[in-house]
A and B are shown apart, each in its own frame.
Chain A
Amino acid sequence: MFYEEKRQKVLRFGDVLQGYLLSTPIIPEPIVEKPLYDCHIDIGLPNYTIVMDPCCRTKHKMISLSPLIEIWGTFFKNLYLAEDLTRINREMGPQQAVPPQIWESFPEEEKEKRLTEGRVYAFENLFIYAPHPLLLEYKVPRKEGDIKTNYYMLDFRNTYKLRCDKINSPTDAPLESKILQLSVDTRSELRNKISTYYGKPPLEDKISED
């Protein structure tokens, strides 16, 4: 079960919300010692946004969100993923992470290198949201022919802050904007994947620690 059948009256990590703006400031270069500068702010209203605050941390008229975005049509090149795109949310073997023809094209050395990684995450910054009747269906353009789906995904890199006067605490918030709640198991998968994403030290730090 990907979603809870009954939504609790509280904002939780991973909840699907509606009605929250997305804004992205865009600058041509960092603003260093410049009294005047050019900037753009893209503002949009995504169909769905995800609560990115850890459970019970939404407060002080502020919330961390990330938009639900459309999936890539190229996922369907990989039959293992095409059967169930939420497999992207879990660890997988190296052969499962690429289309079979790509795996076969790897030199033996590359295959061995990838096999030593074992079962780890692929698409480390992405988390798939399963289809649900409350999520709008859309068309995914593909060279092989468009596919209709209501799978969506979350890209951890899109997380942003929004201020809303009505958000005072996880329970004292506009709960009518909450349309779906992840099951405990799915939320745990989301927590595990995002923790691994942020917890991964860069190679140079590992070298300097050794």
Chain B
Amino acid sequence: MNICEGRVKMHSSGEEAIEAKVKNEGTGSPSIPSEYKDIIYAFDKYEIKVRLTPDNQFIGIVEVKVNKDFLSYKQKVTSKGFHDVEEFYKE
């Protein structure tokens, strides 16, 4: 089984970096606890699936993929204006 190990660095300059490496595990490896949870973290244009223990201890990065929708929620909201037309419908 392949799992990824990695971390996300947040620099004070505002720059961010992702470090991830694939780790090969032999068949039957007991390295993954039987109980864990995966959460998806939206990071710039990437979606990072992070594996945590039940008490939220970081285990590793399971998957990094490009978010096909490049716009964040904030970008989607802010990019949508309204047609300001009400004044043209006053009697």
Determine the chain B residues whose CB is within 8 A of the CB of A124 once the complex forms.
Answer: 82
Q: Are A123 and B86 also in contact (CB < 8 A) when A200-B77, A200-B80, A201-B78 are?
A: yes
Inter-chain contact B83/A97, CB cutoff 8 Å: yes
A143 to B82, CA, bound (A): 28
A-side contacts of B77, CB under 8 Å: 196, 199-201
Contact B91 A143 (CB under 8 A): yes
Residues of A near B88 (CB, < 8 A) are: 98-99, 102
A75 to B89, CA, bound (A): 7
- Chain B, interface size category, equals 10 to 19
Give the nearest-CB partner of B91 in chain A.
A74
CA distance A162 to B81 in the complex (A): 32
A206 at the interface (CB under 8 A from B): yes
Interface stretch (choices A114-122, A168-176, A181-189): A114-122
Please give the distance in Å from A52's CB to the nearest CB on chain B.
Answer: 20
Q: How far is A143 from B89 in the complex, measured between Cα atoms in Å?
A: 13
A77 interfacial by beta-carbon distance below 8 Å? yes
B90 contacts the other chain (CB 8 A):
yes
Alpha-carbon distance A89/B86, docked complex (angstroms)? 15
A147 → chain B closest CB, angstroms: 14
Please tell me if A94 contacts chain B, counting CB pairs below 8 Å. yes
**Inside 8 A of A138's CB, which chain B residues have their CB?**
none
Partner of A120, one of B81, B86, B91: B81
Which chain A residues have a beta carbon within 8 Å of chain B's beta carbons?
72-75, 77-78, 92, 94, 97-99, 102, 114, 117, 120-124, 143, 196, 199-201, 206
- B-to-A contact residues, CB < 8 Å: 77-78, 80-83, 85-86, 88-91
24 inter-chain pairs at a CB distance below 8 angstroms, sorted by A residue, are A72-B89, A73-B91, A74-B90, A77-B89, A78-B89, A97-B85, A98-B85, A99-B88, A102-B88, A114-B83, A117-B81, A120-B80, A120-B81, A120-B83, A121-B83, A122-B82, A122-B83, A124-B82, A143-B91, A196-B77, A200-B81, A200-B82, A201-B78, A206-B78
